[in-house]
Amino acid sequence: MTTTLLRGGNLFVGTSKLRRADLLISAEGILEIADRIDPSDDRVDEVVELNGKAVLPGLIDSHVHLLVDGVDEMQRLHEPYSTPYYRATKVLRETLERGITTVRDAGGADQGLKHALATGLIEGPQVLTAVTILGQTGGHSDGMSPCGVDLSLMPATPGRPSGIVNGPEEMRTRVRELQRAGADVIKICTTGGVLSPSDDPRHSQFAMDEIEMCVREAAVTGLGVMAHAQGPAGVLNAVRGGVRSVEHGIYATDECWDAMLERGTWLVPTLIAPVALLRAIDGGAKVSPTVKQKASDAVTQHMVNVRKAVNAGVRIAMGTDAGVFPHEYSLAELSLMEEAGLEPHEVIEAATISAAELLGLGDRGRIEVGMRADVIVVDGDPFDFDGFADRVLRVFQAGSQRVSREL
Ligand SMILES: [Zn+2]
């Protein structure tokens, strides 16, 4: 076990003002924070001189799809079945290089990916996963195309049960299947979506008895529910049904934000998703003809409505929906969150402290003694999000250095 002294860094402590301090970390966690820690201290194995560079908690992306890296239906038709699993190893490694040390996979990744990470077979952020996406027939998770070919982003496999569900009794079974498959969270679609071929993001999906059954059955094993929800009726149904987080919220109204405030429901905006999706379509990605129109409608409304959520004080955690667009662009979300009205230090808070709270991970998200040593070193101003990912110079995960660029 290596104990590392990070000397002379500027630490993010939850405010706009950084704290100049030394930091001692190991696999046991953050051991000490002080104005000065003696480098000749017996505990110190390695010293890293930071000369004022910023030190942040490892970032947490609350909404990714690791088994997808950009959506293109032609590509999906011609790609071998197992390619997404191999590609995910690259996506994971590069996600870590961007300073993201924890992610919540909102559908796609199964237990095998977590097992491969846990046993050191591959490197990447720690993954919590929803395994698949539960949705009704013809809903957002139903990839049946008009010609009768199923182009679902996450078809059923031995590790990933089918996500199509109708009626509360079937919902009970599906949630139990996901619990058996090792899900850390249950994901449902309470509205249509941008990428699905045959629905409208403003229409609600699932009836209340289905949503309530999902939340109740998930809670039996301590799991929360995340709801893909874009139109107001479906957002309200999800919130009233007791979900822990609303994902996207593109067309949500003040009534939705009020209901979320009242119940303490989180919003994971994923502002970059429709923006980057449109860019990919313009770049030649092949999708259903309805998708482009849905994505361009979404972009403006999304920013307008999330700005209202920020003003209302809705709790916000950073999530990107990376995978729906190429993962490399994921941290463009930070600038968009600032554009939506969060102060720069609040953006970092949403990507660390708040995301950890949403995910129920009390051991991370803060630079405090006793926390897990997921720590990143960022060159330049950490509150300037332009080119942020390229300025991540070091990444420590549970005290181990995973990424090292010249300081
Ligand atoms: Zn998603």
Rounded Cα distance, 74 and 81, in Å: 14
- How far apart CA 393 and CA 198 sit, in angstroms, is 44
Q: How far is the CA of 322 from the centre of ligand 1 (A)?
A: 8
Q: 129 CA to middle of ligand 1, Å?
A: 12
How far, in Å, from the CA of 105 to the mean position of ligand 1? 8
Q: Which residues contact 398 (CB under 8 A, 6 or more apart)?
A: 27, 372, 373, 374
In this prediction, residues 72-89 reach a mean pLDDT of: 93
Q: Please give the pLDDT value at position 56.
A: 98
Residues 18-43 pLDDT 10s? 999 999 999 999 999 999 999 999 99
Residue 326 alpha carbon to ligand 1 centre in Å = 13
User: What is the CA(187)–ligand 1 centre distance, in A?
Assistant: 9
Under 8 Å CB-to-CB from 219, ≥6 apart: which residues?
none
pLDDT tens for each residue of 322-355: 999 999 999 999 999 999 999 999 999 999 999 9
Angle, vertex CA 103, rays to CA 338 and CA 207, nearest 5: 85
CA of 10 to the centre of ligand 1 (A): 34
How far, in Å, from the CA of 155 to the mean position of ligand 1?
15
* DSSP bridge partners of 386: none
Query: At 268, is the secondary structure helix, strand, or coil?
Result: strand
Class of domain 59-358: alpha beta
**pLDDT given for residue 179 in this prediction:** 98
Each domain of the chain, given as residue ranges in start order, spans 4-57+366-404, 59-358
Q: How far is the CA of 323 from the centre of ligand 1 (A)?
A: 8
Sheet holding 100-105, edge to edge: 59-64, 100-105, 126-129
Ligand 1 center to 63 CA (angstroms): 6
Phi, psi angles (nearest 5°) of residue 303: -65, -45
Q: What fold, for 4-57+366-404?
A: Urease, subunit C; domain 1 (2.30.40)
Distance 353 CA to ligand 1 centre (A): 21
Ligand 1 centre to CA of 65 (Å) is 6
